[in-house]
Structures are given as C-alpha cells and as structure tokens.
Amino acid sequence: MDFRYSQDQLDLIDAAANVLSGENTVERLRAFAADPTTICKSENSLWQQFAELGLFGFMAPESLGGLAQPLEVMVGVAESAGYVGLPEPLIEVAGISVPLLNELGFEDELTAVALGELSVGVISALQTYQSNAHFHDSFLVAGAGVDNLQSRSSLKLTPCNSIDPLRQLTRVELALKQNALADRANLHGAVLSAAQLLGLSRRMIDMSVEYAKERKQFGKPIGSFQAIKHHLANAYTQLEFARPMVQLAALQGGVAVHNAKIAAIDTATLIAETAIQVHGGMGYTYEVDLHLFMKRAWALSAEWGDRNYHMRKLEQYLFTDGATLGASQTFS
Amino acid sequence: MNINFTQEQQRFRAEVRAWLADNVPAERLPSFDTAEGFELHREWEKKLAAGNWGNVNWPIEYGGRGLDLISWLIFEEEYYRADAPLRVSQNGIFLLAPTIMEFGSDEQKARFLPPMAAGDEIWAQAWSEPGAGSDMAAITSKAERDGDHYVITGQKTWSSRAVFADWCFGLFRTEAGSERHKGLSKILVPLDSHGLTRRPIAQLDGDPGFAELFFDEVRVPVANLLGPEHGGWGVAMATAGFERGLLLRSPARFQEAAARLVRLYQSHKHRLASGVGEQVVQAWMNAERFCAATYQLVARVQAGASISSESSANKLFWSEMDKHLHRTAMSIMGAQAELQEGLDAIDNGRWLDGYMFSLAGPIYAGTNEVQRNILAERVLGLPR
Ligand SMILES: Cc1cc2nc3c(=O)[nH]c(=O)nc-3n(C[C@H](O)[C@H](O)[C@H](O)COP(=O)(O)OP(=O)(O)OC[C@H]3O[C@@H](n4cnc5c(N)ncnc54)[C@H](O)[C@@H]3O)c2cc1C
C-alpha cells in the first residue's frame, strides 16, 4: 500500500505539464476564443509536440509503440491540461479514444492517432453535445447499433452556443443507447473531466491568490483581510480533498468515479464563485482572464454525466440492501 | 398586526395587472447592456411613463402617483409576475431619485425628476475608481471650483450602462488636500460633456455593460452639486442605504424566479437526484422569507423608522439567495446549463445569464465581505 505516484510517473506528468504550460499561454487562449473554429490540428505546433512526447500513445500498449500508462497517470496530465485551459482535445483523444480504439482493435487508426495525424472523438449517450467536433476526423460512436468508427462528415452535427468561448459546440443527431462501450468511455470521461476540473480549480485559486497579493484597498493588500483569507483557505481545502478521490477513482472505477466527479464539480463550482468574489468588479469582466477558466469549469462539470447522473448512481448504490459500507472496504 | 391588503390596495393591484397584461411586450427584450437593447428598454420606460406607472410612489408633481411603499411593493409584484422588462432607469429611479428628494433643492427636483420619470434622461452611477472600490473614501477624481463651474479631472470605472446612458451621478473630491471621507461632493454630470470619454468594458457575457469614464477638465455648473459641498460622503451613504436597504431588489423578483425554478424542476424531475428538490424548496422558502421581512421593513419605514446599518443584512440576504437559486437551476439543467441562446438553450439561456449576474450580486452595492464587517461592527458591536 503506497497511494502515491512513483517517481517515474511523476516525471512523465511533469514532462507533459512543461509542454502544456510552455506554449498554451493565455494569449493563445484569447486568440482562439476570438474564433474557436481556428482550433485545429493542422499547423498546430503544440499538437505536434504532444505527438513527439508520445502523449497520444500514453495509454496505448507497448506492442503498438505506446507508453502503456494507466488511467491514474493520465489523471495527472489531465490536471495540467485543465490548469492551462487547453482548448485542444488532448485528454479526450489520448485518455478516452485511444484505449477504446485499442480495445476494438483499430490498430492502423491507433498508429495514425499516435503520430498526431488523425484525431478521433467519442460519441455516446452521455456525450451528445460535442465540443470542437471540427477538430476530429472521425468518432467512435457507442450505442448506435454496432459500435464503430464514423467519419465526421457522415454525422449530422447541429451547432449550439456554449458560454465557453473556447468550445464550438454541436449536438449529435443520433439516438444512442448506453452500452458496454459507452460505459467504458464514461468511466474514463468522468475521471478525466474531474481531473481537468481539479486543474482549473487550482488555476483559479492561484490567480486569486496572485490578485489578492497585488490588489490594495484600505492601504493593504486585500489578501491581508481575514474574509479573503478564509474564502481562499476554504477553496484550497475542498480541492485537497477532491484530488485523492479522483486518483482513487482512476484506480478503482465503480462508485469511486461518481464520488470523484461530484467532488470535482462541487470544488470547481465553489472555487469559481470564490475567485470572482476575490477579484471584485475585475472578475465580472471579459477582459480579465479568470472568465476563461470559470466558463470551462461550468462546461466540463456537465460532461460525461452531470451532477445528477452521478448522484443518482450513488443513491442507487447506497440505498440498496447489501451495499458495501463502513470502514475497511475503501481499499482491498 | 394586520396582514390584509385594503380594498383600495386590491383595486390598485387589479389596475396594475390589467395595464401590464395589455402592454408588456410579448417577447423578452434584448439585454439592456447592448446599444439596441438599451434603446428598446428606454422605449419601454417611456411607455410606462405614458401610463403613469413608472414610479407609483413618487409625488405626483414629479411624475409619480403619490402612493406609499406598500403600493410600490404591489406594483413590483405585478411587474415581475408579468415578466416585464428590467428597469433600465434603475440607477436613477431607485438610487438617485430618493437622494434628490432628500437632499436636492426645489429647482433640482423640478429639473431632474420629471425627465428621469419620463425615460428621457437615463442615469448611471459613477462612484468606483480603479483605486477606490470597496474603499470608496480613496476617491481621487477631483472637481475644482472655477467661478460658477466645477472642473472635473480623473477616472471612474465599472459604471453600469454608462456607455449608453445620458447622465451620471458622481462622487468627486472638491476640497483640495482633503482626505478620506472628507471633502467629497456629489455632482451630476451629463455623459456627453466635452472632455468626458467613455470606454466600454465587456462583462462576463461579452456585452459592454460597464464603462470606464475619463474626465479631462469636464466643466459642470455648480448648480449640479447635490447636497452640501464637501459633504458628499453622507449623501452617498444615503443613496447606498436606499440601494441595499430596500429599493434595488424587491422580493417579487426572487419570488418569480423561485416560481420559474419550481417549474424547471418539475419538467426535469425524472432525471434529478433526490437532494435537488430540497434545494428548490429552499430557494422558494428564502424568497418567501425575504418577502415577509420586506413587508415588515416597509411597515417600519412608513411608521417613521430609518434604515441604517441593518440594510447590509438585507443586501447579504438577497444576493446570497439569488446565487443559491441560480446555482440550483444550473445543476438542474445539466448538459444544457452551458447553452446560451439558440438550439436547446432552456428559456433561451436565461438561467445561465441569471447565474452569471447572480455572481455579481455579492460584489456590487458594496461587497458582501464589507457588509459583514459593517453588521459585525456597527450592528452587533464587535470590536474593530
Ligand atoms: C455588475 C456590477 C455593476 C456595478 N455597477 C457599478 C456602477 O454602476 N457604478 C459604480 O460606481 N460602481 C459599480 N460597480 C462597482 C462595485 O461597486 C465595485 O466592484 C465594488 O465596490 C467592489 O470594488 P472592487 O471591484 O474594486 O473590489 P475590491 O474592493 O478590490 O475588492 C476585492 C475583494 O476584496 C474584498 N475586500 C475589500 N476590502 C475588504 C475589507 N476591508 N475586508 C474584507 N474584504 C475586503 C472585497 O469584498 C472583494 O471580495 C459594479 C460592479 C459590478 C460587479
């Protein structure tokens, strides 16, 4: 029993974090926000760097040239992607599509994805709204007859309008059933969206702490007021008790996933509200960067099952005779 | 105690209801934080004024009906029940007008109140500065006396709808060398004045709902001073009291939002977790409690009580209630919560807009942290 990342795992996570924070600056986000249709993989040097670092093959088997990393390590990468507000679907492709492509035996496609040449998204009953679908060449469609890969051009996608300026949102016009493949996609999707929410939360805390040190009122930094300190300390505490749950969910699956996603949703919601409060009037503008992270947090909160979906799963689990409860059952 | 409306009050309610039924636009107007929406809301203000419904509690000579605050509450109830447009004139009619009635000269009342009531002059508030938000006594913009004019130089910010409005009421340092709360004055300034530049600031939703105002030797007649020269702090505090205490947010707004929340819950119930129902009930209870407290407050005010520091509790209650109510709506909508107007956007994105605006509630009209300090120190008497 040693519930920590190993040094090798930490090195991988750090390497990914360095690439992400190096290039994906707020200026880059602002440029994309002005026109999210420009978020593409062609002439995208960051996407190329992901390929060079082996990030797309992060979870692919070694026999196919992958790094065969488990979901909990991907969680660390997803946190970094959240922290920088990455608009590209790195986490969806590497953390959800790749394991599923592997499972379904799409080896050629896997190779092309690993090189960064092909991008594959996932559509399931819980993911009928697609973010930046234009980025992908094709989609794994779960729960519409035979699970299969379909080209983007063969799908009917109707535009809708997300508050997140980095999400070009569309609705998938397909009737879908929840099936085994969709369940597996959802396991990865819920855990990795939770991990991104943790990263977004940390970013909003850091931005708020920075601001609270700089902004002066009544002749003092506002961070010296106890009210502000307590807001931020509460935010930090929520986050610290969400993170291990998300990592555990990646290791265990099952009910831990629902707990983890709800923890991440509640954490991100609270922290977004805290961050805007600490920023005062500044936080209510489009000019200050905070809103980019806040809006992404709202959007990711409902991906791969909203709060109700996960809460109902837990209610079903807990309020049934024979649920495993009490001490000594969390770990086996 | 008597909790029954008089027959006259009931007749008044029926009259308001009938007029609104005939006149409220069938479609919701576009946001008043846009140029187009602002003018459409101004048109609506004019229509209200033409029916003499804009300010029922104002004296008749200034464009009101001379009614009491209970009638105003009844009007508000009917207004929100009819889902009538938000009041684009709110800064004028709810904040400035009571201040003019208390501190203004007869000439000022006659000059400023009727066009405000008519929707011809729409007002913005120009208090905050980049360095003076919560700490408003740190205001540095100055108004120097030059004969029968003030010459104003400095910068204001976060002025709601000042991009489109006609006038602003500002707080400026009139006494050279004065510090903190002393030496400030409240001055009324036309927003198209020579030397005044307005820079729009986009709010969370991208609309230019704020303006930054740059004053470069803007000349205004001394007649535009409201209240005592150098005594602007007291005048401003009275305005803030009206804002926080009663007028800006009447219970009807939240009761109608809670009613819409109940309907939203009903239509999504089949997929919601069990605890959501309790949150919805909580939102409804909060709105009912706010209504009860407000009727009691109004009764006290009509009996001669003045609202002072306890207005901070009022502001805390409604802003936290509003945030909770809209957060609950967001969680009900699930994957549709992020949708703005367009395909699949429930109520055309109104809940999302409402949630974002509810996040501003604990910031404007004095932040909630500062309100808690005021309550703790001035009402509860805790040491500073
Ligand atoms: C939607 C909206 C509309 C507005 N409209 C107008 C308008 O029309 N006209 C106008 O003049 N202004 C307007 N404002 C500005 C508003 O009045 C200020 O934002 C507010 O006073 C806070 O000031 P600030 O933004 O500078 O925040 P700051 O004062 O910098 O506060 C930042 C944070 O520090 C906290 N803080 C500050 N001092 C203390 C303390 N002593 N103890 C504990 N915590 C403290 C605050 O509570 C807040 O959480 C508007 C703001 C918003 C959001």
The domain that holds B222 is classified in CATH as 2.40.110.10
pLDDT for res A224: 98
CA A209 to chain centre: 23
Nearest to A194 by CA among A127, A94, A96, A261: A261
Is there a single domain that holds both residue B79 and residue B25?
yes
Q: In chain A, which residues have their Cβ closer than 8 Å to the Cβ of B373?
A: 227
The domain that holds B30 is classified in CATH as 1.10.540.10
**Per-residue pLDDT averaged across B347-360, rounded?**
97
Residues B301 and A266 sit within 8 Å (Cβ to Cβ): no
**Per-residue pLDDT averaged across B136-141, rounded?**
98
Would you tell me how many other CB atoms lie within 10 Å of the CB of residue B64? Answer: 20
**Per-residue pLDDT averaged across B165-192, rounded?**
97
Homologous superfamily of the A7-180 domain (CATH): Acyl-CoA dehydrogenase/oxidase, N-terminal domain (1.10.540.10)
With an 8 Å Cβ cutoff, are B373 and A227 in contact? yes
Rounded Cα distance between B188 and B184, Å, is 13
Q: Give B246-281 as a DSSP string.
A: IISS-HHHHHHHHHHHHHHHHHHGGGS-HHHHHHHH
Amino acid at B107: E
Structure tokens at B327: 């957060």
Whether residue B321 lies inside any domain: the answer is yes
Is there a single domain that holds both residue B268 and residue B373?
yes
pLDDT for res A11: 97
């807001």: which residue's tokens? A231
Kindly tell me if the per-residue pLDDT of B213 is higher than 80: yes
Rounded Cα distance between A290 and A279, Å, is 9
Digit-coded pLDDT (tens) for A210-247: 999 999 999 999 999 999 999 999 999 999 999 999 99
Nearest to B217 by CA among B272, B140, B127, B146: B146
Is there a single domain that holds both residue B253 and residue B374?
yes
Kindly state whether A158 is in contact with chain B, defined as any CB-CB distance less than 8 angstroms: yes
With an 8 Å Cβ cutoff, are B331 and A308 in contact? yes
Interface contacts (A, B; CB < 8 Å): 129
pLDDT for res A145: 85
**Per-residue pLDDT averaged across B150-176, rounded?**
98
**Per-residue pLDDT averaged across B193-221, rounded?**
98
Q: In chain A, which residues have their Cβ closer than 8 Å to the Cβ of B345?
A: 160-161
Rounded Cα distance between A81 and A282, Å, is 25
Q: In chain B, which residues have their Cβ closer than 8 Å to the Cβ of A161?
A: 339-343, 345, 349
With an 8 Å Cβ cutoff, are A161 and B341 in contact? yes
Q: Give B312-353 as a DSSP string.
A: HHHHHHHHHHHHHHHHHHHHHHGGGTTB-SSTT-GGGGHHHH
Rounded Cα distance between B119 and B88, Å, is 9
Tell how far the Cα of A295 is from the centroid of ligand 1, in angstroms: 21
Kindly tell me if the per-residue pLDDT of B243 is higher than 80: no
Is there a single domain that holds both residue B132 and residue B195?
yes
């003092």: which residue's tokens? A220
Rounded Cα distance between B25 and B84, Å, is 7
Residue in chain A closest to B348 (alpha carbons) equals A161
| Ligand 1: residue whose CA is nearest its atom 2 | B364
Calculate the dihedral angle through the C-alpha atoms of B189, B195, B196, B200, rounding to the nearest 10 degrees. Answer: 170
**Per-residue pLDDT averaged across B245-265, rounded?**
94
Rounded Cα distance between A144 and A142, Å, is 6
pLDDT for res A324: 87
Pairing of strands B167-173, B123-126: parallel
Is there a single domain that holds both residue B18 and residue B136?
no
With an 8 Å Cβ cutoff, are B337 and A312 in contact? no
Residue A281 near ligand 1, beta carbon < 6 Å: yes
Q: In chain A, which residues have their Cβ closer than 8 Å to the Cβ of B359?
A: 273, 276-277, 283-284
How far CA A287 is from CA of A294, B215, B278, in Å, comes to 13, 22, 37
Residues A307 and A263 sit within 8 Å (Cβ to Cβ): no
Is there a single domain that holds both residue B286 and residue B371?
yes
CATH of A189-319, one of 3.40.50.970, 1.10.260.40, 1.10.10.10, 1.20.140.10: 1.20.140.10
Residues B226 and B169 sit within 8 Å (Cβ to Cβ): yes
Digit-coded pLDDT (tens) for B31-67: 999 999 999 999 999 999 999 999 999 999 999 999 9
Q: What strands, in cross-sheet order, belong to the sheet with A129-131?
A: A129-131, A169-172, A157-159
Kindly tell me if the per-residue pLDDT of A65 is higher than 80: yes
A330: left (phi over 0), alpha (psi -120 to 50) or beta: alpha
- Coil, strand, or helix at residue B196? strand
pLDDT for res B238: 87
Residues B295 and B252 sit within 8 Å (Cβ to Cβ): no
pLDDT for res B309: 82
Alpha-helix runs per DSSP H in B24-105: 35-50, 69-81, 90, 97-103
Rounded Cα distance between B94 and B98, Å, is 7
Structure tokens at A221: 């930094």
Residues B126 and B132 sit within 8 Å (Cβ to Cβ): no
pLDDT for res A112: 96
Digit-coded pLDDT (tens) for A133-175: 999 999 999 998 888 899 999 999 999 999 999 999 999 999 9
Kindly tell me if the per-residue pLDDT of B362 is higher than 80: yes
With an 8 Å Cβ cutoff, are A164 and B338 in contact? yes
Give how many domains chain B has, as a whole number. 3
CA A50 to chain centre: 16
The residues facing A291 across adjacent strands are: none
Residue A228 near ligand 1, beta carbon < 6 Å: yes
Tell how far the Cα of B98 is from the centroid of ligand 1, in angstroms: 23
Would you tell me how many other CB atoms lie within 10 Å of the CB of residue A191? Answer: 30
Residues B322 and B358 sit within 8 Å (Cβ to Cβ): yes
Tell how far the Cα of A255 is from the centroid of ligand 1, in angstroms: 42
* CB proximity list for B138: less than 8 A, separation 6 or greater: A217, A218, B129, B131, B132, B180
Which of B210, B335, B360 is opposite residue A306, by nearest beta carbon?
Answer: B335
Kindly tell me if the per-residue pLDDT of A34 is higher than 90: yes
Kindly tell me if the per-residue pLDDT of A88 is higher than 90: yes
Residue B116 near ligand 1, beta carbon < 6 Å: no
Quick one: pLDDT band at residue B240, thresholds 50, 70, 90? confident
For residues A144 and A296, which has the higher predicted lDDT (pLDDT)?
A: A296
Quick one: pLDDT band at residue B310, thresholds 50, 70, 90? confident
Domain holding B369, by residue range, is: 249-378
A85: left (phi over 0), alpha (psi -120 to 50) or beta: left
Tell how far the Cα of A275 is from the centroid of ligand 1, in angstroms: 13
Structure tokens at A216: 């002066």
Residue spans of the domains in chain A: they are: 7-180, 189-319
* Averaged pLDDT of chain B: 96
**Per-residue pLDDT averaged across B371-379, rounded?**
95
Residue A219 near ligand 1, beta carbon < 6 Å: no
**Per-residue pLDDT averaged across A311-330, rounded?**
93
Range scoring the smallest mean pLDDT among A192-196, A257-261, A320-324, B292-296: A320-324
Amino acid at B178: S
Nearest to B169 by CA among B54, B58, B90, B76: B90
Note if B243 is an active site residue: yes
pLDDT for res B116: 98
Rounded Cα distance between A167 and A302, Å, is 14
With an 8 Å Cβ cutoff, are A284 and B203 in contact? yes
Kindly tell me if the per-residue pLDDT of B15 is higher than 80: yes
How far CA A70 is from CA of A74, A179, A183, in Å, comes to 7, 23, 18
Structure tokens at A205: 């805390």
Rounded Cα distance between B373 and B148, Å, is 40
Nearest to B76 by CA among B46, B48, B47, B43: B48
Is there a single domain that holds both residue B78 and residue B128?
no
**Per-residue pLDDT averaged across A268-282, rounded?**
98
Amino acid at A257: V
Kindly tell me if the per-residue pLDDT of B245 is higher than 80: no
Whether residue B347 lies inside any domain: the answer is yes
Q: Give A22-75 as a DSSP string.
A: HH--HHHHHHHHH-GGG--STT-HHHHHHHHTT-TTTTS-GGGT-----HHHHH
Is there a single domain that holds both residue B149 and residue B177?
yes
Is there a single domain that holds both residue B203 and residue B269?
no
pLDDT for res B143: 98
